[in-house]
Amino acid sequence: MDIYDKYNLKHVINADGKMTILGVSKVSDEVVAAQKLGAQNFFEIADLAIQTGKYLAKLVGSEDALVVNSASAGIAETIAGIIGQGSQYHVHNPYTDRIAKREVILPMGHDVDYGVPVDVMLDVAGADTVLAGYANMCTPEHIEEQITEETAAVLYIKSHHTVQKSMLTIPEAIEVAHRNDLPLILDAAAEEDLLKYIKMGADVVIYSGAKAIEGPASGVIFGKTKYIKWARMQGAGIGRAMKIGKENIIGLTTAITKYLEDGPETGDDMIERLEPFVEKLSEVPDMDVKIVQDGAGRQIYRADVTPTGKLTAAEICDKLRHGEIAIYAREYRVNEGIIEFDIRAVNESEMDQIVARLKEIVEGD
């Protein structure tokens, strides 16, 4: 009996991308071996956090780093740390009235739900969210006009979830924050480049460990020494509810080392794998198919499918999910009548299964 039978679970083909609802990524044998090593040995956990942080910081050119249990935890612990500024009293009393400097400025177009609303993590941190600009526009001036004596930081979300046009750039956000003696916190959860944002001058950069990096459930914070120290202190405060196990600290450290050595799948390689898949999809009746690049400009390419028959994109996606094998396509554009297939975690056999299931659906099951 395999794990699907044992727990009465459906097999899943993940053509949606590196999504939390599907377990995010596949983990390599090398990372699993590191997790096993971590799980079967003991460490002084405080020292493990410090030493793996130093090791990772050196790899990316950051002053320091901290492994946490998710990118969301990274946001909450980083911001809580900045509000507390090293105060032990704050660690034990995170929502104290003694500290008034709690405002965190966020471009309005970055106030998104990525599985949970961004401002929920700010609430957990004890921050007061201050939105800047408009849903379709935010300039450096919009950020600056929201700064007060109670402003603690500026938060920038680098994500495909956010509004992409008419938004200030990361260098612009860094410049306006630093000109006003504020830290710029960058949430880069799903981004693929672990080096560029630290080089740009962001004070703190937060990644998911399980997305581009393909590590275990985890996150990592890179940044200036004092901000990492303050975030680490939250382990005795709000971070206690977000603690990460020793096996995943070791696992993520190994995954980042491997990722920096091997790199992600290139856009050219992705296109090469996509081409025969797109050709087969084009043979399915009532489908217009092409290859498109990720809307946020990442080197990620997908199969873009527009149904032209009696079934809508939403209806097809629903049937894909509810078949004998649950096939998850990317549904961000179904309201436009478009289905996307992200193949980063899909092998050739699974691509053939997707094509076969689509044929069944359009031909009436």
pLDDT tens digits along 309-321: 999 999 999 999 9
Domain boundary among the residues 231, 261, 291 is at 261
Residue 27 lies in a domain: no
Residue 76 lies in a domain: yes
Residue 345 lies in a domain: yes
**Domain match, 254 and 353 both:** no
Domain boundary among the residues 261, 289, 311 is at 261
Tens of pLDDT along 55-97?
999 999 999 999 999 999 999 999 999 999 999 999 999 999 9
CB 96 within 8 A of CB 90: yes
**Domain match, 195 and 232 both:** yes
Residue 292 lies in a domain: yes
Total number of domains constituting the chain: 2
Boundaries of domain holding 312: 3-22+265-362
Q: At what angle do helices 45-60 and 246-262 cross, to 10 degrees?
A: 10
Domain boundary among the residues 205, 236, 261 is at 261
Tokens 């630290």 label which residue? 198
**b/e map of 122-155 (b: 16 or more CB within 10 Å)?**
bebbbbbbbbbbeeeebbbebbeebbeeebbbbb
From residue 330, how far is each of 8, 111, 298, 310, 338 by CA, in Å?
A: 25, 21, 16, 20, 9
**Domain match, 327 and 298 both:** yes
Tens of pLDDT along 194-216?
999 999 999 999 999 999 999 99
Give the pairing of strands 151-157 and 184-187: parallel
Tens of pLDDT along 326-342?
999 999 899 999 999 99
Residue 28 lies in a domain: no
Residue 140 lies in a domain: yes
DSSP 285: T
Residue 144 lies in a domain: yes
**Domain match, 218 and 178 both:** yes
Residue 36 lies in a domain: no
